[in-house]
C-alpha cells in the first residue's frame, strides 16, 4: 500500500504545481476527482507545425508504482501521426519501461526514468508532434504517408485539427 500512497502524493504535488504554474501548450486535470491516477490532458498543437491550432485531448493513466514505472498516454481526439497508434496510444521512448529494448531501437538510457514528470512527458509529446520519428512508427500507414505522400499526410492532419476545433 505504501507505493500507492507515495504515487498519489507525488501526483497530487505535480497537479498542484501545474495548477499554480501552468505551462504553455497544454492543460491538465483529473478525469474524475476521486482518482488521482487518471488525468485528462489537452495539448494545443504547437505553433508553426501541421498541428498548429488543434486541441487534442488525451488520458494519462498512471500505474500504482509511479514514478518507478511510466504512465500510458492515449489520445481521445483523432491524431494522424507516425508515433500515435490507430487507437490513440502514444509511442514515445520515454514512456517505455526502463529496460533494454528487445528490438534494439532504443537505448535503456533513453527510456523511462523516475525523474520524468507530467510536465516533461507532455512537453515530449508536443515535441513529438513537431517532429515525427518515422524510424520506428506506431502507425505504419501514417509514417509511410509522411515519407512518401507528404501532401496527403498534411490533408489528414488538417482534418484532425479542424475536428479538434469543432469539439471545443
Rounded to an integer, what distance in angstroms lies between the CA atom of residue 139 and that of residue 90?
Answer: 10
Q: What are the catalytic residues?
A: 91
pLDDT digits (tens, 9 = 90+) for 26-82: 999 999 999 999 999 999 999 999 999 999 999 999 999 999 999 999 999 999 999
DSSP conformation class of 49: S
Residue 111 has a pLDDT of: 84
The structure's pTM equals 0.91
DSSP conformation class of 31: S
Does 102 score more than 80 pLDDT?
A: no
Give the chain's domains with CATH numbers. 2-166 (3.10.110.10)
Amino acid at each position: 500500500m505504501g507505493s500507492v500512497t507515495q504515487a498519489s502524493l507525488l501526483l497530487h504535488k505535480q497537479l498542484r504545481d501545474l495548477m499554480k504554474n501552468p505551462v504553455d501548450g497544454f492543460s491538465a486535470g483529473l478525469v474524475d476527482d476521486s482518482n488521482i491516477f487518471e488525468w485528462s490532458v489537452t495539448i494545443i498543437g504547437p505553433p508553426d507545425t501541421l498541428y498548429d491550432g488543434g486541441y487534442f485531448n488525451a488520458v494519462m493513466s498512471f500505474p500504482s508504482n509511479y514514478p518507478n514505472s511510466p504512465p500510458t498516454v492515449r489520445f481521445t481526439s483523432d491524431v494522424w501521426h507516425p508515433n500515435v497508434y490507430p487507437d490513440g496510444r502514444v509511442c514515445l521512448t520515454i514512456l517505455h519501461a526502463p529496460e533494454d529494448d528487445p528490438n534494439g531501437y532504443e537505448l535503456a538510457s533513453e527510456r523511462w526514468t523516475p525523474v520524468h514528470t507530467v510536465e516533461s512527458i507532455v512537453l515530449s509529446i508536443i515535441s513529438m508532434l513537431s517532429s515525427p520519428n518515422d524510424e520506428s512508427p506506431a502507425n505504419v500507414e501514417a509514417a509511410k504517408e509522411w515519407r512518401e505522400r507528404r501532401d496527403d499526410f498534411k490533408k489528414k492532419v488538417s482534418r484532425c485539427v479542424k475536428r479538434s476545433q469543432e469539439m471545443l
